[in-house]
């Protein structure tokens, strides 16, 4: 599989960590913007696990064919 796809999983984790940091900073100042970052954090974590599972399944299927 293309190696860059493996690293995109970790890009989602980076976005989730950055969003969690922004949530911590904005929570008491501007809660409406903090909710937007909550949404980004949840979606990023979901996409990390989804892409990871899909990649592992694809790699297992590829090894079965070889």
pLDDT of 40-64, one tens digit each? 999 999 999 999 999 889 888 888 8
Q: What is the pLDDT, as a whole number, of residue 51?
A: 92
- Angle CA(20)–CA(5)–CA(22) in degrees, nearest 5? 10
Range of the domain at 53: 3-65
Model pLDDT for residues 8-18, shown as the tens digit of each residue? 899 999 999 99
Geometric angle at alpha carbon 10, from 5 and 64, rounded to 5°: 45
Q: Given a cut of 80, is residue 24 above it in pLDDT?
A: yes
Euclidean distance between CA atoms 22 and 31, whole angstroms: 11
| Threshold 0.85, pTM exceeds | no
Q: What's the total number of domains in the chain?
A: 1
């Amino acid at each position: 599989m293309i190696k860059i796809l493996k690293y995109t999983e970790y890009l989602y984790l980076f976005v989730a960590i950055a969003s969690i940091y922004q949530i911590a900073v904005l929570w008491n100042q501007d809660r409406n913007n903090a909710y937007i970052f909550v949404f980004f954090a949840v979606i990023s974590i979901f996409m990390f696990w989804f892409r990871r599972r899909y990649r592992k399944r694809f790699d297992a299927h590829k090894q079965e064919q070889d």
